[in-house]
Chains A and B, each alone.
Chain A
Amino acid sequence: MGAGLTAHGLVKEFAGVAAVDGVDLNVKPGEFVSLLGPSGCGKTTTLRMIAGLEQVDEGEIRINGEDVTDLPPQKRHLGMVFQNYALFPNLSAFENVAYALRVRRRPRAEITARVNEMLDLVHLTDAARKYPHELSGGMQQRVALARALAISPSLLLLDEPLSALDAAIRESLRAELRRLHIQLDVTVIYVTHDQAEAMSLSDTVVVMEKGKVSQSGTPQELYNHPKTRFTASFVGASNRQETTVERSGQALAIRWGEGSLPLATGSEHEGARVIATWRPEIASLHPEAGETSTGLSGIIELVTFLGPITRFDIRVNGAEEAVMVDVPSNGSAAFLPGQRVSISVPPDQIRLFPL
């Protein structure tokens, strides 16, 4: 039932500045794809071009193979959910959901049945007669969802739908979205700047930066094997440092502040300027016991309890930024602020991006 979407070479300029600068997309039927990136990266503009709300300057968009680039939004048969809900304030929840059907002049019995079905789907049957101003943010967004799904669109577009909601509601709506996606077998394109949201919901995540696609892949791929510097720093937390690859005995290593970290074989060549990154959870802490020529050493500056893990901010000599190390909470009691520790980082988990 879900539609497939392909887009090639999408370009959109505003006042001479390219908000979207050559974006390709390939969304398979039934997939949940997130467009992830910071403000201004072009993700919302891309979504709006897919919706038909923005004219495409260059490129084409095909839904199920059919070229829709110049088709007005009314004819594209898509569903869209906006960040600020965009519910019609003069209509009840029922009438909001019924809107698309009324506009198509469907018979009354069909409208009633379908609207009730949709309200049931989002668990809002009791709120049918309420007006948007009488509903909470979470409820309004669910009505918006029901409204978009009323005509069984083959493609559902969501523009940061959870940004305006508080954390608890966000969690529950996230679960709702996942459930609906599976239950309805609809293709979803989801725009967000929250990478946790994108990772937890999507089959594929498209990371965007400055109007271009930085990397596209499954959440695991992006997290474990980021291919670009931007993806590595935007997705998940990481420690990063601009440094040079140098020789250290038989192997190659990189300087990190005053210390150095050995690299795995087959890394960049000696002398290369790189940005080195590694994730906080791959490193391990040891109480300092004598000099270590490999790994780093430093003083614990800050201990932050995050529930299942505890994050240590460690001041390493010569390094500008504190290094973050995540340790499972039940193994972290031994380390206290002010203590000297050594950090060992598995060489094969250090990612290098040439400068």
Chain B
Amino acid sequence: MAQLTAGRSIARSSSTSTRGRRTPRFRPGDLLFSLILLLAIVYLVLPLLAIVGFSLAQAWSRTILPDGYTLDWYLEAVRDPRFRPTAMRTLKLVVATSILSPLIVTPAVIYVHLKAPKLKPWLEFLSIIPWALPGVVLALAMIRAYISPYNVNRPFLLAMTYILISLPFMFRAIDAGLTAINARTLVEASQMLGAGWLDVTRRILIPNIMTGVLSGALLVSALASSEFALANLMVGSGWKTFPIYQAQAQGTDGRIGSALAVMGLAFTFIVSMILIVLTTRDRRGRNASATAMANK
């Protein structure tokens, strides 16, 4: 996009210099680029449009556009007795993971960044392993390790598993924040000024990594709200989550299933939007100075 605009502005300035002719000159490259972009957007958006259309259609089997519109499928989905309990359970997971994940990971990352930077590559490597494992393997491993011997509360274990597999994201987000502000020197400056660990963490470190922590938390909650495989394997029999209900509804009636899918998509969309706003808005402010400082 930026490339397009740049190309156009250059074209404009050179064309106005030729006796006020105002038609912007398109280079052949621009056309091809726009075409590819358009195709990509269509490819990505079309399935979404299809599912939204299907969820709103009275009937839609042989025509290009839906045959009449209705909100019936949404109403039926919400009225289903399974809707509320599963939605509440998923909501609990979302809240639990987005609170616990920062609480657990932040102190660890801060410690490693400041006191044991040589351990960082090891930590990164370890944090990727759960994420890289196939869902079945991970689920069975968790059950074997915690449920069979100790009978740990299953939903709690699921939340912790979500935190486990989102570790790489959390880790990266917080570590990047610490590096950007040159945390080590700031801590030294803080020590020279008489501040202990609690003070410097509270006053300096946390405020500056807030964006990183929040993006990490949002990523975890997006995961928790839409994850199916692990949930099905670990809690699926007695504690159905929303994605599990979504899958079941899809089996009984595709139109209700698509209504639920759209609801799930809407939630993820909202979360992503918040994430984007958070990470780009702050960038212009202090993070810009931090990167400037680090570049000096």
Contact = CB atoms under 8 A, between A and B. Distances in A.
**Do A and B originate from a single complex?**
yes
Interface of A: 51-53, 72-75, 77-80, 82, 84-86, 88-91, 99-100, 102-104, 131-134, 137, 147-148, 151, 164
A245 B287 CA distance: 63
Given A51-B192, A53-B191, A90-B207, 7 more contacts: A52-B191, A82-B189, A89-B181, A103-B193, A131-B289, A151-B194, A164-B296
26 contacts: A51-B192, A53-B191, A73-B191, A74-B191, A74-B192, A74-B194, A78-B192, A80-B189, A84-B182, A84-B293, A84-B296, A86-B189, A88-B203, A89-B289, A89-B293, A100-B195, A102-B203, A132-B289, A132-B293, A133-B288, A133-B292, A134-B289, A147-B193, A148-B192, A148-B193, A151-B193
B190 interface: yes
Nearest to A103: B195
A148 B190 CA distance: 10
Contacts of A86: 182, 185-186, 188-189
> How many B residues are at the interface, by size bracket?
20 to 34
Contacts of B287: 89
Contacts of A147: 193
B123 interface: no
* Most chain A Cβ neighbours within 10 Å, of B189, B195, B290: B189
B293 A85 contact: yes
Contacts of A52: 191
B199 interface: yes
A52 B188 CA distance: 10
B191 A89 contact: no
A131 B286 contact: yes
Nearest to A140: B293
A89 B195 contact: no
B195 A74 contact: yes
Contact of A104 (B192, B194, B286): B194
Contacts of A51: 192
Contacts of B196: 74
Contacts of B285: 131, 133
B204 interface: yes
Contacts of A89: 181, 208, 286-287, 289-290, 293
A88 B195 contact: no
Given A99-B203, A133-B292, A73 B286 contact: no
B180 to A, nearest CB: 9
B208 to A, nearest CB: 5
A282 B188 CA distance: 46
* SS class, residues of chain B in contact with chain A: helix
Contact of A80 (B192, B204, B286, B288): B192
B289 A133 contact: yes
B185 A99 contact: no
A192 to B, nearest CB: 17
A131 B286 CA distance: 8
A151 to B, nearest CB: 7
B212 to A, nearest CB: 13
A79 B178 CA distance: 24
A74 B193 CA distance: 7
Interface in B167-189: 181-182, 185-186, 188-189
Interface in B243-296: 285-290, 292-293, 296
Contact of B191 (A72, A77, A148): A72
A75 B288 CA distance: 33
Contacts of B185: 82, 84, 86
B184 to A, nearest CB: 10
A53 B185 CA distance: 10
A80 B187 CA distance: 12
Nearest to B197: A74
B174 to A, nearest CB: 15
Given A84-B182, A99-B203, A100-B193, A53 B293 contact: no
A109 B70 CA distance: 66
* Most chain B Cβ neighbours within 10 Å, of A75, A104, A133, A147: A133
Contacts of B204: 88, 90-91
Contacts of B182: 84, 86
B65 to A, nearest CB: 52
A212 B155 CA distance: 63
A85 B194 CA distance: 17
A80 B287 CA distance: 24
A131 B181 CA distance: 14
A99 B199 CA distance: 10
A51 B188 CA distance: 10
A137 B194 contact: no
Given A53-B188, A137-B296, A90 B193 contact: no
Nearest to A99: B193
Given A90-B204, A90-B208, A79 B192 contact: yes
Contact of B194 (A100, A132, A164): A100
Nearest to A75: B194
Nearest to A78: B192
Nearest to A133: B289
Contacts of B296: 84, 137, 164
Contacts of A131: 285-286, 289
A27 B289 CA distance: 37
